[in-house]
């Protein structure tokens, strides 16, 4: 039964992720994330690597599109994951936010990489990124 649930979850995530696409803009450094002509957002790539959609999470009328943005750092290389919050009901993006920072080092504590905390509430998401000292609130 657990395997069936896992397969169903993976199948639904892959269907949702397939709806979103990334396209390099003509300027060569900005990307467009889109699902159709009405739903798109352009963002700048600020770390090395090519962004890749890793998963889509559904929360009521929101979709959280998670991207591997690339790696940052030299001594303590860290994978940067950002998320784009999309309001399906109003067909608009609510912004780009830090999702996770994953140390590629054997000792993440030596690198000082902290988890990004996402707290989901009825009408908002609170995001706390101790790596940058910034807090975000996404109202919907």
Mean pLDDT computed over 127-136? 95
Whole-Å CA distances, 14 to 24, 30, 120: 22, 25, 23
pLDDT-based confidence at 109, cuts 50/70/90?
low
Q: In whole angstroms, what is the distance from residue 80 CA to residue 68 CA?
A: 6
What is the pTM (predicted TM-score) of this model? 0.80
Query: Which pair of structure tokens corresponds to residue 126?
Result: 């609170």
Binned at pLDDT 50, 70 and 90, residue 10 comes out as very low
* Burial class (CB within 10 angstroms; exposed 0-12, middle 13-18, buried 19+) of 50: exposed
Whole-angstrom CA distances from 30 to 19, 41, 97 are 20, 10, 17
pLDDT at 36 over 70: yes
The C-alpha atoms of residue 33 and residue 21 are separated, in whole angstroms, by: 6
Q: Which residues pair with 34 in a beta bridge?
A: 21, 40
Radius of gyration of the chain (CA): 16
Higher pLDDT, 125 or 19: 125
What pLDDT shows up at residue 117? 97
Judge whether 118 and 99 are in contact, CB under 8 Å.
yes
Average pLDDT, the chain: 84
Residues in the chain: 140
Instruction: Give the tens place of pLDDT for each residue, 45-77.
Output: 888 889 999 999 998 889 999 999 998 887 788
Q: How far is CA 139 from the centre of its chain?
A: 17
The most confident of 30-39, 41-50, 124-133, by mean pLDDT: 124-133
39: pLDDT strictly greater than 70:
yes
């Amino acid at each position: 039964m657990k395997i069936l649930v896992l397969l169903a979850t993976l199948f639904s995530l892959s269907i949702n992720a397939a709806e979103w696409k990334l396209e390099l803009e003509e300027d060569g450094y900005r990307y467009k994330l889109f699902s159709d002509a009405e739903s798109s957002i352009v963002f700048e790539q600020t770390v090395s690597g090519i962004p890749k959609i890793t998963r889509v999470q559904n929360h009521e009328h929101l979709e959280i599109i998670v991207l591997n943005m690339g790696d940052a750092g030299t001594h303590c290389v860290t994978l940067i994951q950002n998320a784009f919050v999309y309001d399906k009901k109003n067909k608009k993006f609510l912004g780009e936010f830090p999702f996770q920072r994953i140390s590629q080092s054997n000792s993440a504590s030596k690198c000082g990489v902290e988890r990004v905390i996402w707290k989901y509430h009825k009408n908002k998401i609170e995001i706390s990124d101790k790596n940058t000292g910034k807090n975000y609130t996404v109202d919907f």
